[in-house]
Each structure stands twice: as C-alpha cells, then as structure tokens.
A and B are shown apart, each in its own frame.
Chain A
Amino acid sequence: METQLIELAYALDTLYFLVMGAFVMWMAAGFTMLEAGLVRAKNTAEILTKNISLYSISCIMYMVVGYNLMYPGGGSGIVPDLAFFLGTDNTVEAVVGSGGDVYYSGMSDHFFQVVFVATACSIISGAVAERMKLWPFLLFCVFMTSIIYPVQGYWKWGGGFLDAAGFSDFAGSGVVHLCGAAAALAGVIVLGSRKGKYKDGKPQAMPGANLPLATLGTFILWLGWFGFNGGSELIVSNVVEANAVSLIFVNTNLAAAGGVMGALILSKMMFGKSDLTMALNGAIAGLVSITAEPLAPTPGLALIIGFIGGLIVVFSIITLDKLNIDDPVGAISAHGTAGIWGLLAVTLTGGSLGAQLYGIIVIFLWTFIASFIIWKIIHTIYGLRVTEEEEEEGVDISECGLEAYPEFSKQFDSAPSVYPKK
C-alpha cells in the first residue's frame, strides 16, 4: 500500500510536470502570434519562421548541453560542471527506496525546463524584428540556449551562488524574462533601429498588421502562464501543495488582469486613447511581475503587483522610444523592466532587497555582456542586418522567399510576382 502510494504520487507529480510543461510550450504559439500581429505584413512570414525555429533550436541545444549545464551534478557555484545529453530516468526501486523523496521523472523535469529556455529566446525575437537576418539570429540562439541562459540559470535554480546568497525568483522573472530582455537589449543596440523609425529623434508609428493575432497571442500566453507559474511549484500531490498551486493560478490570473487595466488606464490618460497594443503589453507585464513570487502574496496584492507592472511597461515603452531604442513589440519593457519590478516586488512579501538587487545586477550584466559580445562577433563575421532594399521590400522576401498575406498585397493576381532568388 505504501509502495502504491509512493508510485501514485510519483506518477501524479510527473504528470503535473508534463501537463504544465505542455502549457508553457503553448506559450511559444502565444509569442509567435503576438509578434506576428505587431509587425508589418511584409515581415510576418519571417517572424513566424524565426519563432518556430528558435523553439526547435532551444529544445535541441538544451538537450545536448544546456540542461546539464544548468543542473549539473556538481560545480563551484559559479562555473557549472559540463555534461552532454540526457541520462536515464529513475528506476522503480530507486523511487520506492527513496520513500517518496524522488517524486518525479527526470525526463519530465527536463521537459518542463526546456520550454522555459524557449520562452527566454522568444523574447529576443520580437525586439529584433523587421530588420535582422534570420540565420544569424538562430546562431545567437544556439549560444543563448547552450551557454548564456543555462549559466545564469545554474546560479539561481541549479544551486549556484545566487541561490546561496538568498536571491529569490520563483518561476523566472529574472532567470527567464530579465535574461531574455537583456539579451534582446544587447541585440537591439548592436542591430540598430528600423529604417525611418526615428525622425529627428521622434518615434514614427509603424503599426502592426494583425491586431486580432496579437490579441490571440496574448490570451495564449496568459493561458500558458498558468503552467509557467503553476508548474514551478514543482509538486501537487498533497493538500498543502495542491492549495499552493491553486493560489498560484489565482494570483497569476489576477496579476495579468491588473496589468491589462494598469496599461489601458494609463494609455487613456496619457494619449487620450485606449491603445490595444499597450493593453496587451500590460497583460504580459502583469504576468512577468508576479512570476518572481506568485505564491506568497494575497490575491489582492497580486492584483496590485500586476497593475503596477502594467503602469511600468507603458512608461518603459515610451522611454525606450525616447532613447531611440527600437523594440517593435515592447519585449524589453514587458519582460525586462517588468521583470526587474517583479523581482523587487518579492520584498513586499519578505524578500531581501539586497539579495534581489544582487540577483538583478548579476543576471543583467552577465546576460547583457555575454550577449553583446556574441552579437558583435556574429555581426562582424556575417552581418546582422538585412540591406536597406531588403528592409524596404520586407524580410519575408529576402529571408523566406514567400509572403504571409500574398493575396492582400498583390492586387492584380493571386500569386506573388516576386520569386525567391536562385
């Protein structure tokens, strides 16, 4: 009977990882739709290609080396041990013999973790949209998912020095979102802004081609985030944990709702209009804000944390534009600025301000500097940016050789009249 209960709990918690992991995988579709909706029609096919490819590369490189780098058998606390590929899973004897201490499949843990890496990479793709070449971006992803992300992930979740220092990051406001945003910021600085985006320092509007897709993408991310935060409790199979997971779902939901309203209200106040794209960024910012600690706050506090995230993201978007840092989808603001707020908000429920600041600075500096170097190297060897003509024509043609909306862009015949260069 005891054995059966141990096996049942193992199966339940393993299933929990798998289902929550599948929810987070669905966030890849969310990012893809959100970005596809916020870029112009002539750049849509490329960003779709980029998103499905980066997801694939993330899974591959994390399996090859990233996972073991992030969760090594040993390590100095700063430099993790190196190991490749995935090992074998727990045997029945090992599980039963542990009395329930070993409570989930190793493979299910890998699956749950790999979808987080893909999320971090996905943040970058939106910020560099509409003017970056596809393959140099994918090359960066290889480094991001095999080294940059795993090393800082090791420092916190793999038992490294940030964890030892008391830095708190439940589901990854820092490890995933701030990390992705820092890599994105480095990329955008090396890449430069879109042609014509800033005239005399003032931002020119380049409206997205498909706001229904952008909104759908945001709802998909919202749904997927229940897996992102809920799954990060890592266990569900007893009363305490089941209650914890339930509270996390509620808090995550409320933070997103708060983020939407914060951004929408502020947009109405600042611009006189209720900007949908700001509301969508607000939802994301709210979700990112609660991701550092979705369990400790009361639902009311979670709502406020998300609401403030929604306010912050609007200010951040405006500020980045003032600094002429071009981020077509607001990724750096929604994930980076809101990520920093999320990490600081942990102090509202007992976290140490010093430890949080320490984590923020370490994650940001490591990711930004490592990314900047790699972006620069790729840029020097291959060039990051498409040519001016290619940017004018749209990267769909130059990178993909096809269009996302061929019938809408061609008036006189239904087949595109530009064919891929041989």
Chain B
Amino acid sequence: MKLVIAVIKPFKLDEVREALSAIGVQGITATEVKGFGRQKGHTELYRGAEYVVDFLPKIKLEIAVSDGFVDKTIDTILKTASTGKIGDGKIFVLELQEAIRVRTGEKGEEAL
C-alpha cells in the first residue's frame, strides 16, 4: 500500500476530489496548510509598509491506495490539479506500512 500526499491549490480541491471519486478512490483526508516551493510568495502593502507573504495557502490531500492503484491516482491528480502556472503543488508517495478501519478492525487493503 502507498500513501499519496498531494499539495495542491485550494480552489482545485473540488475538481480533484470528484475525479478521484470517479476512478474509485473511497477515502481522502484534506488539511489546510501553508507552503511554498520555488514560487516563493508575493508582496502585500499595508499603510505604506510592504511585507512579503512567503507561505501561501494550499490544500494537502492524503490518500491511502493499494499498490496497483498508485499510478492511476497520480495521473488523475496531475490532470485535474494542474493549471500550468507556478504554485500548482507537489505529489509525494510514501510506503504505507499498515492501514486499519476503526469501526471493524479490518486491516490491510480491506481497510482502504
């Protein structure tokens, strides 16, 4: 099993979520985060004082999938979360050691 972590632009959340549901993903965790990559931030102005906002709002998705599903998941995210402009985000894939459903105690791919 793998844990796919995707940091995306906030307004892309609905689109990505719908596309993932369509390919059969059954569970997603979303967190509001702040981050930057090479994009860095932008300058804002308040009463004549400039200040740089480096950390921009993003959404982090965590999706646990079986090994065979990883490529499809990544492709879907890439297709829907991308705008072609800087700040689109990043995808990380981690090895997932165990997954357990709290209600029933099911383990492994049964729990996904």
Find chain B residues with CB under 8 A from A321 CB: 47-49
List 26 A-B residue pairs with CB atoms under 8 Å apart, sorted by A's residue number: A203-B48, A203-B49, A204-B49, A204-B51, A205-B44, A205-B46, A205-B47, A205-B49, A205-B50, A205-B51, A206-B46, A207-B46, A270-B48, A271-B45, A272-B45, A275-B45, A275-B46, A275-B47, A275-B48, A277-B46, A278-B47, A317-B47, A318-B48, A321-B47, A321-B49, A330-B47
Size band of the B side of the interface?
under 10
Q: Cα distance A202–B52 when bound, in Å?
A: 14
User: Is A410 at the interface (CB under 8 A from chain B)?
Assistant: no
Find chain B residues with CB under 8 A from A272 CB: 45
User: Is A195 at the interface (CB under 8 A from chain B)?
Assistant: no
Size band of the A side of the interface?
10 to 19
Find chain B residues with CB under 8 A from A204 CB: 49, 51
Q: Cα distance A197–B51 when bound, in Å?
A: 12
- Contact assessment for A277 and B47 in the assembled complex, using a CB-CB cutoff below 8 Å: yes
- B44, B46, B47, B49 — most chain A CB neighbours (10 Å): B47
Q: Cα distance A205–B53 when bound, in Å?
A: 11
A residues with a Cβ closer than 8 A to B are: 202-207, 270-273, 275, 277-278, 317-318, 321, 330
Query: Which of B44, B45, B48 meets A317, CB within 8 Å?
Result: B48
- Contact assessment for B49 and A273 in the assembled complex, using a CB-CB cutoff below 8 Å: no
- Contact assessment for B51 and A271 in the assembled complex, using a CB-CB cutoff below 8 Å: no
Find chain B residues with CB under 8 A from A318 CB: 48
Least Cβ distance of B5 to chain A in Å?
A: 20
Kindly report which residue of chain B lies nearest to residue A271, judged by CB atoms.
B45
Top 7 closest pairs, chain A to chain B, by CB:
A205-B46, A205-B51, A203-B49, A205-B49, A207-B46, A318-B48, A273-B45
Least Cβ distance of A421 to chain B in Å?
A: 32
Find chain B residues with CB under 8 A from A278 CB: 47
Q: Cα distance A288–B45 when bound, in Å?
A: 26
- Extra A-B contacts (17), CB below 8 Å, given A203-B48, A277-B47, A318-B48: A203-B49, A205-B44, A205-B45, A205-B49, A205-B51, A206-B46, A270-B48, A271-B45, A271-B48, A272-B45, A275-B46, A275-B47, A275-B48, A277-B46, A317-B48, A321-B47, A330-B47
Find chain A residues with CB under 8 A from B50 CB: 205
Q: Cα distance A330–B48 when bound, in Å?
A: 12
Find chain B residues with CB under 8 A from A317 CB: 47-48
Q: Cα distance A320–B8 when bound, in Å?
A: 42
Kindly report which residue of chain B lies nearest to residue A272, judged by CB atoms.
B45
Kindly report which residue of chain B lies nearest to residue A327, judged by CB atoms.
B47
Q: Cα distance A318–B47 when bound, in Å?
A: 8
Least Cβ distance of A203 to chain B in Å?
A: 4
Least Cβ distance of B58 to chain A in Å?
A: 16
Kindly report which residue of chain A lies nearest to residue B50, judged by CB atoms.
A205
